[in-house]
Amino acid sequence: MSDSLLAAAKNTLLLELHEASKLPERLDEGFLKAAKAVLHCNGKVIVSGMGKSGHIGRKLAATLASTGTPAFFVHPAEALHGDLGMIESRDILLFISYSGTAKELDFILPRLAEKQVLLLAITGKNTSPLAQAAHAVIDISIEREACPMHLAPTSSTVNTLMMGDALAMAVMQARGFNEEDFARSHPAGALGARLLNRVHHLMRQGENVPQVTDSATVMDAMLELSRTGLGMVPVVNTRTEVSGVFTDGDLRRWLVGGGKLEDSVTQAMTRGGFTLNADSRAVEAKEQLMNRRISAAPVTDSNHKLAGAINLQDFWQAGIL
């Protein structure tokens, strides 16, 4: 039985791959017209389809929406019971039907014509009613399904999925849609955390920020080190500008060298020190800390005044790994 199961699975994959291998040849004028229509659409792209085509259509609508094209899925049956009201003349309806003869089209097509809604078709039958009514047709035709009974949509759904992805990716690149644009559609994901967060979104503020003035002693700075546990204390002047940074390492070196706790912190601190800008991208700021092999840094605003502090743990907790 195991051999027959593997043989059936392999045969299915080979048949689907064979049909899919022909798709690049279908990137014709119809595909171009469809892509340009989507690219220049002033409204929304509404994707629709029955059965398995509908399942693929939901995925295509989601892919378009997340890559810069406002889109959503409408079930044909729901469209005929009120959801056609969602579609406006500036929108596009992208209908998926391999046969192009879905019964719902008998009612939908006249309503689209009345509303002057542009129709795009993804179909395997270029002479079908759907194809004839469409402004542009994307060809997903196959010689045979991978189903041994030639009944269950298999090769045809793979072709639909791949052509849908080809359309979405072509339009995305033509828009100049980039990683940050994608992250804005996925703010809760790992990419959103990496690309959308700025240092000021993650930094510690208020009482959680260690600091001493340049009139403080080494003892004052040591106590501030202990209070916050960040491993560094910004030293600020009267204008709250960072004059330097006092770290655990500075404390050890000062005491080993014979320095006293009553001495001015300005004698023991690292002058200038490394700071991060509050408006910097968090992922870049984390890389700067890693490259300098330091775990924490003060954060300054556009006026070079102390605004907060941040360490590597703050980045990790935000999902920036």
Binding-site members for Zn(2+) are 75
C-alpha distances in Å from residue 13, one per residue of 10, 18, 145 = 5, 8, 11
- In the annotated binding site, the residues are 75
Q: Which of 117, 90, 318 has its CA nearest to residue 204?
A: 318
How far apart CA 99 and CA 18 sit, in angstroms, is: 20
Q: CA-CA distance, 303 to 301, in Å (whole number)? A: 5
Please name the helix (run of DSSP H) or strand (run of DSSP E) that holds residue 267, with its range, or none: helix 265-268
What are the strands, taking DSSP E only, across the chain?
45-49, 71-73, 92-96, 118-123, 136-139, 212-213, 232-236, 242-247, 270-271, 276-277, 296-300, 306-311
- DSSP conformation letters of 23-38: GGGG-SHHHHHHHHHH
- What six digits make up the tokens of 75? 């079930």
Tokens representing residue 202 in the block: 């993650």
How many C-beta atoms lie closer than 10 Å to residue 300's C-beta? 21
